[in-house]
Structure formats: structure tokens, C-alpha cells
């Protein structure tokens, strides 16, 4: 994973930036993509599906994520806040997966972006 302030690769960032989204939706999309990466890795390490991953596993991941350490001064309050954000991202990821008729771990960045674009048009 390449470090960036958005916690995305430059290609992923460019895709989100090119999407027809509000600033709020771009933030949510970036967070969902980061969360998807995080949840996939945890699923690989634990054998759990992303839906079954507990917050404690997310906390362990965040503590060892170099992109976060390099870009942010992380304290306990931030960790708690960020864990909640990542866990909250499961909701839109579940919706994307359901609409795409595939498991969360098989979602692509483009599918996540397109879902947020579609959702933004409906709001």
C-alpha cells in the first residue's frame, strides 16, 4: 500500500477525484475504499468474512498500518474514532456488494465509486 493523505494509491485517488461526487461523498468513498482494503487484509489473515470482522481486529490493523503512522499523529482518541469510521463503512460496502451480487471481498474500487455516484444522484 502506498502512503498518501487519503490512504489510497494515486490511481485510486485519481478515480475518486474524477467521479461526479460532492466533497462529502468523495470523503465517504475514500474511506470505503480504504476500509475495503483493510477488511480484505484482515479477512485474509483471519479467515473471517469482512462482515464478521470484529472492531478489535480493525483496531489491530490500524495500529500496524504504516500509511496512517506516516501521515497522522495517532493517539487513542483518533484510533477509536477511525475504527468507528472503518466499521461504519461496512454498511455502504454491504449495499454495494448486495447490488452487485458479489461478496464484499470481491468488490472493485470502480464498483464502490459507481455506487457512491449513483447514491449521490438519488440524494
Residue-wise pLDDT tens digits, 80-101: 888 888 889 999 999 999 999 9
- Assign 112 a pLDDT band (cuts: 50, 70, 90): very high
Q: Mind listing the pLDDT tens digit for each residue in 61-75?
A: 877 777 666 666 667
C-alpha cell at 34: 480504504
Global pTM exceeds 0.85: no
- The DSSP string of the chain is ----TTSS-HHHHHHHHHSS--HHHHHHHHHHHHHHHHHHHHHHHH---GGG--HHHHHHHHHH-HHHHHH----HHHHHHHHHHHHHTHHHHHHHHHHHTS-GGG--HHHHHHHHHHHHHH-
- When pLDDT is averaged across residues 42-55 and rounded to a whole number, the result is 90
Amino acid at each position: 500500500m502506498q502512503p498518501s493523505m487519503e490512504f489510497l494509491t494515486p490511481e485510486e485517488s485519481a478515480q475518486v477525484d474524477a467521479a461526479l461526487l460532492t466533497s462529502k461523498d468523495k470523503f465517504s468513498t475514500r474511506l470505503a475504499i480504504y476500509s475495503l482494503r483493510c477488511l480484505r487484509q484482515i479477512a485474509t489473515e483471519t479467515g473471517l468474512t469482512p462482515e464478521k470482522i470484529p472492531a478489535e481486529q480493525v483496531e489491530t490493523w490500524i495500529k500496524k498500518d504504516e500509511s496512517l503512522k506516516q501521515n497522522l499523529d495517532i493517539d487513542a482518541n483518533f484510533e477509536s474514532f477511525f475504527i468507528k469510521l472503518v466499521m461504519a463503512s461496512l454498511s455502504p460496502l454491504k449495499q454495494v456488494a448486495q447490488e452487485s451480487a458479489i461478496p464484499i471481498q470481491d468488490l472493485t474500487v470502480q464498483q464502490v465509486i459507481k455506487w457512491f455516484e449513483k447514491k449521490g444522484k438519488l440524494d
